[in-house]
Amino acid sequence: MVYLVDTNVLVRLFTQDNEEMFREAFSFFEKVANFEIQAVISEGVLLESWFVLQKVYEMKKDEIIKRLLTIVTLRNVILEDKLAFIEALHILKERNIDFIDAMLCVKSNIKGYKVFSFDNDIQRCLKARNAV
C-alpha cells in the first residue's frame, strides 16, 4: 500500500511532543523501512516540515538535516527529485543558506535552468557549483 505523508507526521516523529502520535509515526516508518508499505512525501511537505521544525520548535539546522536524511534515504520513500533534495540537504550542511535557496541551486544545476533571484546566497551557491 502507498501512503501520502503529511507534515504533521514528520513533525510528531522528529519532536516527539505527542507520545501517541510519535509511536504511530515511528511504527509507520518502521513499516516503510521493512518494505511493508511505501511512503510518498511531497517537496511541499518537506519544506513545510523544515520551516515548522526550525521556526516553531527552534530545532538546530544540523539536527533537522540528520532527521530528514534518515527518512528520505529510506528506499521505500518516494520523493520527486529525491536526489536533488538529498543534495540540497548536503549543501545546507556546508553553507549558511535557506533551504529553498539550496533547492533552487541544486535544481538549476541538475536541470540546466537559470535562476532569477536577487538573493546573494543563491548566486554564491550557483557560482560555487558552476551553474551561473
DSSP 6: P
Task: Please tell me the predicted confidence (pLDDT) of residue 131.
Answer: 46
Q: Rounded distance, CA 125 to CA 38, Å?
A: 33
Q: Contact at 8 Å (CB) between 13 and 54?
A: no
Cell numbers found for residue 100: 529553498
- The mean predicted confidence, pLDDT, of the chain is 92
Angle value at C-alpha 13, between 11 and 19, nearest 5 degrees: 110
Percent over 70 (pLDDT), the chain? 98
Segment 43-51 shows an average pLDDT of 94
List, in sequence order, every residue forming a beta bridge with 2; answer none if it has no partner: 38
> Among 78, 90, 86, 74, which Cα is nearest to 26's?
74
**Main-chain phi, psi angles of 34, to 5 degrees:** -90, 10
Given a cut of 60, whether residue 70 has pLDDT beyond it is yes
Segment 85-106 shows an average pLDDT of 90
Given a cut of 80, whether residue 130 has pLDDT beyond it is no
Cell numbers found for residue 43: 517537496
Given a cut of 70, whether residue 79 has pLDDT beyond it is yes
Given a cut of 60, whether residue 132 has pLDDT beyond it is no
